[in-house]
C-alpha cells in the first residue's frame, strides 16, 4: 500500500490543518477552508491563521457558503504545475465558488505525473485516454500535454467551460468535451466497441447527471468499473481510480480492480503534508498499467 503526496507543486502549499479547517497557499494567496477529515488540533494559533490568510470560506449550510476577504485578493487568479519534473507546464484558473472549492484538487498532482509518464512510455501513437468525472481538467491537461487523444467527460456544463479555460491557459488544444452522465457515456462506448489506452475516474461520493441521473459511490461504482474495464485496450493500457468518501477503504478499490490488474495493481492513499507537520488524508486510489 502506497502513500502518495505531490513533491514538486511550487504554486501550492498546505501550511497547517486541524480543527476541521485547512490553511492553504494557492500561488500568492492564502485561504482558510473547511476540512471534515481534520479532527485533530491546529499547530498554529487561530490568530496566526487569520494573520496569514487572505480569504476565508464561511459555511452557511452543509453544501454552500460565502467567502470573507481578510486582505485584498482577487476573485479569480492563476497557478501552474510543472508535470513530472518535465518542461511541460499546465495552468489553472482558480476562483471562489459558493461550495468552498477553488477549482483544483492539488493532491491529484501525484496522479497527473503518473498519467504523463504512462503516456510517454506507450508505443501507441497518440494514445486514446478517457477522463470521467473530470472536473476542471487537471488529468485531461496532463494527458494532452503528454500527447494523448483525450476525451473529457463531466455532467456540469459550467465546469466543462472552466476546463476549456484551463486548456487555453496551458496552450493546449483539441480536447474532446462531453457534458453527460459518466455511467451513461461508458455504457454507450461499450455498445460502440470503443477502446481506450488510458482511463481516469475520480467519482464523487454523491452527484447528479445533467438530466437528473443519480450517482452514489457505493451503489454505482461496481457497475461503473465493470463497464470501464471493458473499454481498456487489450495491448496497452493504464487506469486510475480515485475515491474521496469518508470510510471508503483502498481495499475496496483492490477488490474492484484486482481481477483485471493482477500483480500490476497499486493501491493506497493520497495525502497532503502540511508545512507545520500534519498529514491530511484525501482519498484512496488504485492504479495499474500494462505495457
Tens-place pLDDT, residues 52-100:
999 999 999 877 999 999 999 999 999 999 998 889 999 999 999 998 9
pLDDT on residue 202: 95
At residue 160, the 3 state secondary structure works out as: helix
Residues 113, 210: one domain? Answer: yes
Do 115 and 38 lie in one domain? The reply is no
- State percent of the chain over pLDDT 90: 89
Provide the pLDDT for residue 195. 98
Q: What's the average model confidence in pLDDT over 247-264?
A: 92
The answer to whether residues 31 and 48 touch, using CB atoms and an 8 Å cutoff, is no
C-alpha grid cell for residue 208?
A: 447528479
Q: Say what the pLDDT of residue 244 is.
A: 87
Question: Does residue 81 sit within a domain?
Answer: no
3-class DSSP state of 170: coil
Q: What was the pLDDT predicted at 210?
A: 86
How would you classify the pairing of strands 237-243 and 279-290? antiparallel
Please indicate, yes or no, whether residues 64 and 122 belong to a single structural domain of this protein: no
- Encode 230-254 in three state secondary structure: HCECCCCEEEEEEECCCCCCHHHHH
Number of independent structural domains in the chain:
2
Q: What is the pLDDT of residue 218?
A: 87
Q: Sorting pLDDT into bands at 50, 70 and 90, what band is 135? A: very high
- The beta strand positions in the chain, using DSSP E, are 2-4, 12-18, 21-26, 29-34, 55-59, 65-69, 76-82, 89-95, 128-132, 149-154, 176-179, 198-201, 206-208, 214-216, 237-243, 266-273, 279-290
Residue 25 has pLDDT above 90, yes or no: yes
With bands split at pLDDT 50, 70 and 90, how would you rate the model's confidence at 205?
confident
Residues 23 and 134 reside in one and the same domain: no
Pair 34, 145 in one domain: no
Q: Calculate mean pLDDT across residues 104-113.
A: 97
In a domain, 84, yes or no: no
Predicted pLDDT at 270: 97
- Of 54, 76, 98, the residue at which a domain comes to its end is 76
Q: Is a pLDDT exceeding 90 seen at residue 204?
A: no
Closest CA to 134 of 181, 174, 82, 71: 181
- Would 148 be classed as within a structural domain? yes
Query: Are 163 and 265 in the same domain?
Result: yes
Contact 217, 205 (CB under 8 A): yes
Does the pLDDT at position 248 exceed 90? Answer: no
Q: Is residue 97 part of a domain?
A: no
Query: In terms of domains, do 63 and 7 share one?
Result: yes
User: Which is higher by pLDDT, 205 or 193?
Assistant: 193
Strands 206-208 and 12-18, how do they pair?
A: unpaired
Q: The domain that contains 185 carries what CATH number?
A: 3.40.50.150
- pLDDT tier for residue 231 given thresholds of 50, 70 and 90: very high
Given pLDDT bands bounded at 50, 70 and 90, which one contains residue 155?
Answer: very high
The answer to whether residues 170 and 69 belong to one domain is: no
Per-residue pLDDT band at 247 (split at 50, 70, 90): confident
Flag the least confident range among 40-44, 125-129, 217-221.
217-221
Q: Are residues 116 and 172 in the same domain?
A: yes
**Of 184, 189, 178, the residue nearest 131 (C-alpha):** 178
Classify residue 83: in a domain, yes or no: no
* Angstrom distances, CA of residue 64 to CA of 33, 42, 136, 145, 185: 12, 24, 19, 34, 29
191 backbone dihedrals φ, ψ, rounded to 5° = -60, -35
- 105's CB contacts (< 8 A; 6+ apart) are 135, 138, 202, 282
Asked whether residue 98 is domain-assigned, the answer is no
- Residue 111 structural domain: 106-290
Amino acid at each position: 500500500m502506497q502513500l502518495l503526496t505531490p513533491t514538486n507543486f511550487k504554486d501550492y502549499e498546505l501550511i497547517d490543518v486541524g480543527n476541521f479547517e485547512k490553511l492553504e497557499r494557492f500561488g500568492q494567496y492564502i485561504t482558510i477552508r473547511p476540512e471534515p477529515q481534520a479532527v485533530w488540533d491546529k499547530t498554529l494559533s487561530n490568530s496566526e491563521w487569520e494573520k496569514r490568510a487572505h480569504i476565508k470560506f464561511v459555511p452557511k449550510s452543509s453544501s454552500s457558503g460565502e467567502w470573507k476577504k481578510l486582505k485584498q485578493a482577487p476573485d479569480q487568479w492563476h497557478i501552474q504545475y510543472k508535470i513530472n519534473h518535465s518542461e511541460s507546464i499546465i495552468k489553472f484558473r482558480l476562483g471562489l465558488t459558493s461550495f468552498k472549492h477553488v477549482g483544483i484538487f492539488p493532491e491529484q498532482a501525484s496522479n497527473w505525473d503518473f498519467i504523463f509518464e504512462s503516456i510517454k512510455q506507450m508505443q501507441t501513437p497518440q494514445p486514446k485516454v478517457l477522463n470521467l468525472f473530470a472536473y476542471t481538467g487537471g488529468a485531461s491537461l496532463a494527458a494532452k500535454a503528454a500527447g494523448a487523444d483525450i476525451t473529457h467527460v463531466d455532467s456540469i456544463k459550467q465546469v466543462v467551460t472552466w476546463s476549456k479555460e484551463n486548456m487555453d491557459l496551458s496552450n493546449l488544444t483539441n480536447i474532446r468535451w462531453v457534458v453527460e452522465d459518466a455511467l451513461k457515456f461508458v455504457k454507450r462506448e461499450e455498445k460502440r466497441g470503443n477502446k481506450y489506452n488510458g482511463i481516469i475516474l475520480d467519482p464523487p461520493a454523491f452527484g447528479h447527471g445533467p438530466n437528473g441521473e443519480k450517482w452514489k459511490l457505493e451503489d454505482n461504482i461496481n457497475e461503473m468499473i465493470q463497464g470501464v474495464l471493458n473499454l481498456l485496450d487489450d495491448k496497452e493500457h493504464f487506469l486510475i481510480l480515485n475515491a474521496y468518501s469518508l470510510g471508503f477503504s483502498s481495499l475496496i478499490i483492490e477488490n474492484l480492480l484486482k481481477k483485471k490488474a493482477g500483480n500490476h495493481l497499486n493501491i493506497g492513499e493520497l495525502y497532503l503534508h502540511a508545512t507545520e507537520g500534519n498529514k491530511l488524508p484525501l482519498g484512496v486510489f488504485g492504479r495499474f498499467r500494462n505495457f
